[in-house]
């Protein structure tokens, strides 16, 4: 910045540190709660500093389960979340790449019609068409399985738009050169287009993985079989149980586990994440 | 209007020093150009004068006042940025008026000053436009106008013409010079383009790697470059450099291919017997009738530019090509041998180690 | 829009768009039209036969005081969430943008709540505000303020607003910071030379130039508060106490899945769709007006 005023600089840092402290406070409390035993977690005031039960709680969470979600293991729920998130992310990327390729590189009847049809999906989040979509999935026999969890969510207008944008910036000369070299459409797609959009694909993957992992309403609707529960749903079940027999130390441990994968992805792939976020949404 | 004095100005980022102590006095109303290759620190010097960079060491005075601790707005300077930095959401009028409004000028005064500047810069019809509706040259003028209306003590220019195309650049260069002659405001102008520097500046500061190599009028720099760097930087095509050996009595420079150049003004006896570097500008070679004094250039290729011809060739086994520039059109086949001579006064000698002029 | 050169006509493009189009039709367009269709029907109590009633469901909806209140609550909720998270994010981004050293570290420490699922965010806030055990509730108690969001509707509303805003700050922060960093530095420098101090520079230069970002975020935040906060409400308050936090998207779910009022729920869906479509169209019209530096 232009001015160099030590006091203003100090204040800037103070504001940021204070904000980070406030924002991190819930997480800190969660971590603290996950590191105490059941007895300590029923006495007010609750502790503000971590205890020594963290690894015992971690083990208990995996081996015994929590609350009325006791019958299904936390490990299984994590696995379900991972499978769902991966299927959604990979599925969205594949079908968006294909349709963006068709729309940018071919001239065919109904091209714009298809384009608008894809655009519509942007306007209809799951939340506004819950019941009829549920009926469709039920009629197709896709309740309580991974297909039902992921396929209805993999149509993506944003991803298609982004790839369209990326493809439009690929110089025409590349296609001309490929055609002179004798490459057909799919060869061009595989050998040239996919490699040049590598970073965009990776950036989008980060966003979509988090989107998939954090799905809540949809799994809530279509899974009744406890073996198909995802971790995010599982937390809800535990919270309900907490009203009778609070096992906050285990619930908070599970919450930590549910937050961890997406946070690791976001923080670990920060650059890609920010690129993906600011480029897809604009 | 004011004098600007730099006393041993130093800039360092954490531990690395990038400007190593520059001192100069810029006279009231002078147009001074800071010139050097990209990355040499010339913009940093300008930004320190502007107050956009902290001064690590030394003193900067504007109009007698030490400004080291003053914020940009209190230094009474105005600056034209390389990308003009026009406020995109404001009209041309508001762009020019912004600084005046902040300084609490009255509405009438603002209007009068902006109108006057607009007239001077031929922007009258454009006052209601937004910057994006203007051409490059017009934006350039608005940026100038923003400076003029404030009537500051000093104008600072940070490569203001580098975003324009070649033709417009020549035109704006002329306009800038004329403007300075009318307003007579002390101006400091940064550029990497030596032609711009030579044509605009009353004096030039040549900067290389964070140090001032030489300060002087354009002609001084051209005729008596203080260092090998300045000699190579000023003038186009660039000066030729050749290794040479000074004869024991210091009267002659001996080069490969049996070339003997007689040195002017009694030679350089102090350097008798030493290895030096000889510099000769391309335009100072003349074709002569073959004689004992001549240097024989074997032509490699020529570029005919119409007004003059550039010939590239070699003296005997010298490494690298020698450039010579001859007026008019000449057709030389490759491998032609040209006998050349150079006036004694046009031979520059530089120390091999330090690059300093001898 | 389209490349200068393309491949020769063939059935291939149809094949390529098929998966996307199939999914769109089956899971988006068909259910959406079903919703529209059902919104015009009334089913009897046993779901045996249904009757076409034109716009009766909508008329009922808009004359229903409960729905009307829910609408008002949603507007209040969304504007508070948008205001709180945008305001905080703007302040933090402006502060982080000033800082030369350590800006990346601060960014890292501020972005991760984006990755937290709404339900999980709800769980965190629910825990620290738990009336019997929660640490913040305990502190408030100590200060003489009685906190019980299970009984007090306003407190319940405040809690879901906090949780929803908390999660959204990082998203807004990233966009504001990116927007500010896209403004050429020389503009603020020019303003500083023109005589503007830091605060004044922010309001006359940075904030106006940020307006496309701000507008984009405003729409995105409203969409977020309208639809994506379902998880928070469902986990923390379940619309209670006494419907005090029943926002529209929760009501659609509740009336349809729990209350099994198909026609009414479908009509609500259609209203929500209209809202999203309006917001999206506004968004796209505005995006054209970008600032050029």
Q: For chain B, which residues lie within 8 Å of any Cβ of chain C, measuring from their own Cβ?
A: 50-52, 71-73, 77-79, 81-83, 85, 87-89, 98-99, 102-103, 132, 146, 150
* Distance of alpha carbon B23 from alpha carbon B59, whole angstroms: 9
Residue of A nearest to B51 (CA): A2
Residue A184 CB partners (closer than 8 Å, separation 6+): none
Query: How high is the pLDDT of residue A118?
Result: 81
Contact call for A107 and C9, based on CB within 8 A: yes
Regarding whether B260 and B169 lie in a shared domain, the answer is no
Q: What is the pLDDT of residues A238-254, one digit of tens each?
A: 777 766 666 777 888 88
Judge if B84 and B141 occupy the same domain: yes
SS3 (DSSP) at B236: coil
HSE (side-chain half, CA atoms, 13 Å) at B323: 18
Domain co-membership, B70 together with B94: yes
B356 located within any domain:
no
* Residues B316-341: b if buried by 16+ CB within 10 A, e if exposed: eebeeebbbbbeeebebeeeeebebb
- Provide the pLDDT for residue B1: 62
Q: Chain B: residue nearest A1 by CA?
A: B52
Tell me: do B89 and B109 sit in the same domain: yes
- Tell me whether residue A17 is in a domain: no
Q: Tell me what pLDDT residue A244 has.
A: 66
pLDDT value for C157? 92
Of residues A191, A123, A205, the one with CA closest to residue A163 = A205
pLDDT at C2: 58
How far CA C110 is from CA of A11, A158, C167, in Å, comes to 18, 25, 10
Asked if B51 lies within 8 A of A4 by C-beta distance, the reply is no
pLDDT band for position A56 (cuts 50, 70, 90):
confident
Q: Extract the tokens encoding C45.
A: 């109590």
Between positions 48 and 77 of C, the ones with CB within 8 A of A are: none
When scoring A1, A4, A6, A8 by the number of chain B Cβ atoms within 10 A, the one with the most, hence best to mutate, is: A4
Distance CA C55, CA C44 (A): 17
Interface of A with B in 4-43 (CB under 8 A): 4
Domain count of chain A?
Answer: 1
The tens digit of pLDDT for each residue in B287-310 reads 887 766 678 888 988 999 888 999
Average pLDDT over residues B41-62: 90
Nearest CA in chain B to A2: B52
B142-167 pLDDT per residue, tens = 998 998 898 899 999 999 888 888 88
**Contact call for C21 and A114, based on CB within 8 A:** yes
CB atoms B72 and C192 under 8 Å: yes
**A160·C20 Cβ contact <8 A:** yes
Helices (H), C30-152: 30-38, 56-63, 65-98, 103-111, 118-128, 135-142
Which one of B43, B46, B74, B102 makes the best mutation probe of the C interface by having the most chain C beta carbons within 10 Å?
A: B102
Decide if A154 and C24 are in contact by the 8 Å CB cutoff.
Answer: no
Q: Is residue B121 part of a domain?
A: yes
Looking at residue A65, its pLDDT comes to 65
Range of the domain at B118: 4-233
- The pLDDT assigned to A246 comes to 67
Kindly list the residues from chain C whose CB atom is less than 8 angstroms away from the CB atom of residue A120. Answer: 24, 28-29, 32
pLDDT score recorded for residue A71: 58
Residue A212: give its domain's CATH number: 1.10.3720.10
| Contact in structure between B149 and B100 (CB atoms under 8 Å) | yes
- Beta carbon pairs, A and B, within 8 Å: 6
pLDDT at residue number C44? 63
**CB pair distance less than 8 Å for C23 and A154:** yes
Residues 180-209 of C with CB under 8 A from B: 184, 186-187, 189-197, 200, 204-205, 208-209
> Confidence class of residue C164 from pLDDT cuts 50, 70 and 90?
very high
Q: Is C26 exposed, middle or buried (0-12, 13-18, 19+ CB in 10 A)?
A: middle
Do the domain assignments include residue A179? yes
Mean pLDDT calculated for residue range C12-36: 85
Asked whether B232 and B257 are in contact (CB, 8 A), the reply is: no
Q: C48 vs chain A: nearest CA distance in angstroms?
A: 16
Give B-chain residues touching C192 at CB under 8 angstroms.
51-52, 71-73
Domain range for A68: 56-280
pLDDT digits (tens, 9 = 90+) for A189-220: 888 888 888 888 888 888 889 888 988 888 88
If asked whether residues B174 and B112 sit together in one domain, one would say: yes
State the total domains in chain B.
2
Least confident segment among A43-47, A133-137, B220-224, C214-218: A43-47
- Contact across the interface for A44 and C189, Cβ inside 8 Å: no
Asked whether residue B203 carries a pLDDT value surpassing 90, the answer given is yes
B254 in any annotated domain: yes
Any A CB within 8 A of C158 CB: no
Of B181, B210, B233, which residue constitutes the final position of a domain?
Answer: B233
Residue A282: is its pLDDT beyond 50? no
Residues of C whose CB is below 8 A from B52: 189, 192-193
A46 is a domain residue: no
Contacts of B99 in chain C (CB under 8 A): 193-195
**What confidence tens digit (pLDDT) does each residue in C222-243 have?**
888 888 888 889 888 887 788 8
**Are B79 and C190 within 8 A, CB to CB?**
yes
What are the distances in angstroms from CA C164 to CA A34, A259, C158, C208? 23, 16, 10, 27
Closest by Cα among B188, B231, B177 to B62: B188
Residue C78 has pLDDT above 50, yes or no: yes
Q: What is the pLDDT of residue B62?
A: 92
Q: Which residues of C touch A217 (CB under 8 A)?
A: 230-231, 234, 253
Closest residue to B87, CB basis, from C187, C197, C200: C187
Please answer yes or no on whether B83 and C192 come within 8 Å at the CB atom.
no
Nearest CA in chain B to C190: B85
Query: What is chain C's mean pLDDT, rounded?
Result: 83
C106 at interface of A, judged by CB pairs closer than 8 A:
yes
C98 close contact with A: CB closer than 8 A? yes
Mean pLDDT computed over B42-70: 90
Return the CATH number at B38: 3.40.50.300
Kindly state whether residue B358 falls inside one of the protein's structural domains.
no
Q: Do C235 and A125 touch (CB under 8 A)?
A: no
In a domain, B138, yes or no: yes
C162 and A CB contact within 8 Å: no
Per the prediction, chain A carries an average pLDDT of 81
Q: Could B73 and C194 be called an inter-chain contact, meaning their C-beta atoms sit closer than 8 Å?
A: yes
Share of chain A above pLDDT 90, in %: 5
Q: Last residue of some domain: B182, B217, B233?
A: B233
Q: Which of A25-29, A47-51, A71-75 has maximum average pLDDT?
A: A25-29
Distance from CA of B102 to the nearest CA of C (A): 6
Q: Are B85 and C208 in contact (CB < 8 Å)? A: no
SS3 per residue for chain A: CCCCCHHHHHHHHHHHHHHHHHHHHHHHHHHHHCCCCCCHHHCCCCCCCCCCCHHHHHHHHHHHCCHHHCCCCHHHHHHHHHHHHHHHHHHHHHHHHHHHHHHHHCCCCCHHHHHHHHHHHHHCCHHHHHHHHHHHHHHCCCCCCHHHHHHHHCCCHHHHHHHHHHHHHCCHHHHHHHHHCCCCHHHHHHHHHHHHCHHHHHHHHHHHHHHHHCCCHHHHHHCCCHHHCCHHHHHHHHHHHHCCCCCHHHHHHHHHHHHHHHHHHHHHCHHHHHHHHHHHCC
Of B198, B217, B233, which marks where a domain is finished?
B233
Residues B224 and B297 occupy one common structural domain: no
CATH among 1.10.3720.10, 3.40.47.10, 1.10.8.50, 1.10.540.10 for C64-287: 1.10.3720.10
A96 to chain C: which residues are within 8 Å by CB?
Answer: 20
The answer to whether B67 touches B60, Cβ cutoff 8 Å, is yes
Chain mean position to CA B221: 10
C292/B98 Cβ within 8 A: no
Rounded to 5 degrees, what angle do the CA atoms C249, C250, C256 make? 95
With contact defined as 3+ CB pairs under 8 Å, the chains touching A are B, C
Is residue B72 within 8 angstroms of chain A, CB to CB?
yes
Q: Is residue A45 part of a domain?
A: no
C5 contacts on A by Cβ (under 8 Å) = 172, 175-176, 179
User: Would you say residue B175 lies in a domain?
Assistant: yes
pLDDT of B111:
92
Instruction: State the distance between the two ends of chain C, measured CA to CA, in whole angstroms.
Output: 24
Most confident of A101-115, B192-206, C132-146, C248-262: B192-206
Asked if A1 has any chain B CB less than 8 Å from its own CB, the reply is: no
Residue C48 has pLDDT above 70, yes or no: no
Q: Facing residues of B261 across strands?
A: B253
């Amino acid at each position: 910045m232009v001015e160099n005023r030590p006091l203003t600089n100090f204040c800037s840092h103070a504001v940021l540190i204070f904000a980070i402290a406030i924002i991190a406070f819930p997480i800190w409390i969660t971590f603290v709660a996950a590191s105490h035993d059941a007895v300590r977690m029923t006495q007010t005031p609750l502790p503000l500093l971590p205890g020594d039960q963290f690894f015992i709680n971690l083990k208990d969470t995996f081996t015994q389960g929590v609350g009325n979600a006791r019958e299904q293991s936390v490990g299984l729920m994590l696995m379900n979340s991972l499978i769902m998130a991966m299927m959604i992310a990979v599925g969205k990327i594949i079908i968006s790449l294909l349709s963006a390729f068709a729309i940018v590189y071919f001239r065919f009847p109904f091209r714009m019609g298809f384009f608008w049809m894809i655009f519509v999906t942007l306007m209809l989040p799951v939340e506004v068409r819950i019941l009829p979509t549920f009926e469709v999935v039920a009629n197709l026999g896709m309740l309580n399985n991974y297909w039902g969890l992921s396929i209805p969510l993999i149509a993506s207008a944003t991803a298609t738009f982004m790839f369209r944008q990326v493809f439009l910036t690929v110089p025409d000369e590349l296609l001309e050169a490929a055609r002179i070299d004798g490459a057909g459409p799919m060869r061009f797609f595989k050998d040239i287009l996919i490699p040049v959009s590598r970073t965009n694909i990776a950036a989008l993957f980060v966003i979509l993985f988090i989107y998939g992992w954090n799905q809540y309403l949809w799994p809530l609707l279509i899974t009744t079989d406890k073996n198909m529960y995802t971790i995010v749903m599982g937390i809800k079940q535990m919270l309900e149980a907490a009203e009778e027999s609070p096992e906050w130390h285990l619930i908070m441990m599970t919450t930590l586990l549910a937050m961890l994968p997406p946070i690791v992805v976001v923080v670990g792939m920060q650059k890609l994440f920010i690129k993906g976020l600011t480029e897809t949404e604009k | 209007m004011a004098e600007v004095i730099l006393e041993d100005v130093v800039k360092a980022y954490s531990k690395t020093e990038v400007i190593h102590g520059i001192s100069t006095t810029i006279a009231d109303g002078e147009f001074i150009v800071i010139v050097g290759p990209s990355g040499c620190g010339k913009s940093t010097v300008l930004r320190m004068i502007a107050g956009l960079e902290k001064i690590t060491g030394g003193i900067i005075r504007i109009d007698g006042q030490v400004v080291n601790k003053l914020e940009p707005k209190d230094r009474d300077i105005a600056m034209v940025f390389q990308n003009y930095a026009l406020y995109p959401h404001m009209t041309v009028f508001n762009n020019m008026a912004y600084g005046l409004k902040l300084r609490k000028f009255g509405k009438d005064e603002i209007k009068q000053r902006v109108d006057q500047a607009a007239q001077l810069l031929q922007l009258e019809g454009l006052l209601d436009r937004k910057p994006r509706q203007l051409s490059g040259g017009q934006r350039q003028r608005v940026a100038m106008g923003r400076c003029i209306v404030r009537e500051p003590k000093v104008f600072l220019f940070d490569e203001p013409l580098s975003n324009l195309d070649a033709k417009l650049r020549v035109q704006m260069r002329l306009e800038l010079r004329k403007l300075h002659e009318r307003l007579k405001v002390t101006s400091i102008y940064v550029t990497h383009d030596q032609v711009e520097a030579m044509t605009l500046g009353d004096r030039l500061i040549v900067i290389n790697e964070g140090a001032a190599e030489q300060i002087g009028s354009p002609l001084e720099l051209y005729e008596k470059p203080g260092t090998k760097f300045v000699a190579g930087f000023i003038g186009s095509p660039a000066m030729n450099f050749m290794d040479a050996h000074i004869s024991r009595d210091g009267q002659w420079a001996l080069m490969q291919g049996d070339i003997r150049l007689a040195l002017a003004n009694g030679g350089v006896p102090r350097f008798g017997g030493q290895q030096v570097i000889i510099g000769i500008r391309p335009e100072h070679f003349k074709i002569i009738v073959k004689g004992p004094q001549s240097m024989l250039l074997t032509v490699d290729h020529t570029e005919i530019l119409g007004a003059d011809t550039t010939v590239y060739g070699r003296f005997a086994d010298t490494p690298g090509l020698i450039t010579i520039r001859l007026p008019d059109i000449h057709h030389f086949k490759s491998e032609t041998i040209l006998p050349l001579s150079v006036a004694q006064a046009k031979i520059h000698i530089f120390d091999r180690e330090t690059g300093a002029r001898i | 829009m389209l490349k200068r050169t393309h491949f020769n006509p063939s059935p291939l493009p149809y094949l390529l768009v098929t998966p996307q189009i199939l999914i769109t039709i089956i899971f988006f367009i068909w259910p959406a039209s079903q919703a529209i269709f059902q919104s015009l029907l009334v089913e009897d109590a046993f779901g045996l036969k249904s009757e076409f009633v034109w716009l009766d469901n909508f008329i009922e909806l808009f004359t229903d005081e409960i729905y009307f209140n829910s609408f008002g609550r949603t507007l209040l909720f969304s504007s508070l969430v948008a205001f709180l998270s945008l305001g905080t994010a703007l302040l933090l981004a402006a502060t982080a943008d000033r800082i030369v050293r350590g800006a990346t570290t601060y960014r890292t420490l501020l972005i991760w709540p984006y990755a937290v699922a709404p339900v999980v965010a709800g769980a965190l806030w629910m825990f620290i505000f738990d009336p019997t055990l929660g640490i913040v509730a305990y502190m408030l108690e100590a200060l003489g303020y009685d906190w019980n969001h299970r009984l007090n509707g306003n407190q319940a509303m405040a809690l879901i607003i906090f949780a929803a805003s908390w999660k959204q700050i990082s998203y807004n922060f990233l966009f504001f910071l990116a927007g500010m960093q896209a403004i050429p530095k020389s503009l603020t420098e020019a303003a500083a030379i023109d005589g503007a101090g830091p605060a004044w520079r922010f309001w006359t230069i940075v904030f106006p130039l940020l307006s496309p970002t701000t507008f984009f975020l405003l729409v995105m935040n409203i969409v977020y508060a309208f639809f994506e906060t379902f998880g928070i409400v469902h986990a923390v308050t379940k619309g209670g106490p006494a419907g005090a936090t029943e926002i529209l998207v929760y009501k659609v779910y509740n009336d349809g899945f729990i209350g099994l009022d198909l026609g009414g729920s479908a009509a609500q869906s259609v209203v929500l769709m209209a809202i999203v479509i309006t917001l999206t169209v506004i968004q796209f019209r505005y995006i054209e007006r970008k600032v050029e530096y």
